[in-house]
Amino acid sequence: MRFVVIPESKNCWIWELRSAQDFLVLRSPGSFTAKFQAVAQIEALRRAIHVAGIYDLVGARVDAQAVRVTS
C-alpha cells in the first residue's frame, strides 16, 4: 500500500491510497490548496489508523487486540 499525492489543478492537491497492484483503495475527501496540507492529512490518518481497532457490526472487537485483552 502507498499514499500518492496528486496535483488536481494548478492550486489543488488530493491524495490517494493505492494497493500494491495500483488499485485505488481510498481518496481524500476533498482537495487542498497546498501540497503540504495533503501530506499533513496523510500523516494524521496514518497515526489514527495505527490505533484504530477492528469491530463487527454489533460493536464487538475482532482484531488481535481483542484476543490480548480477553486472554
Taking only the tens place, the pLDDT of each residue in 46-56 is 998 888 888 89
Per-residue pLDDT tens digits for 22-63 = 999 999 999 999 999 999 999 999 998 888 888 899 989 898
Tell me the CA distances in angstroms from 27 to 11, 32, 38, 41, one per residue in order. 18, 12, 11, 12
Residues 6+ apart with CB under 8 A from 29: none
| pLDDT at position 71 over 60 | no
pLDDT, mean over the chain: 89
pLDDT, tens digit (0-9, with 9 covering 90-100), for 11-22: 899 999 999 999
What's at 18, amino acid-wise? R
- Tell the burial category of 42 from Cβ atoms under 10 Å away from its Cβ (0-12, 13-18, 19+): middle
Q: Which three cell numbers stand for residue 50?
A: 495505527
| Entry pTM | 0.74
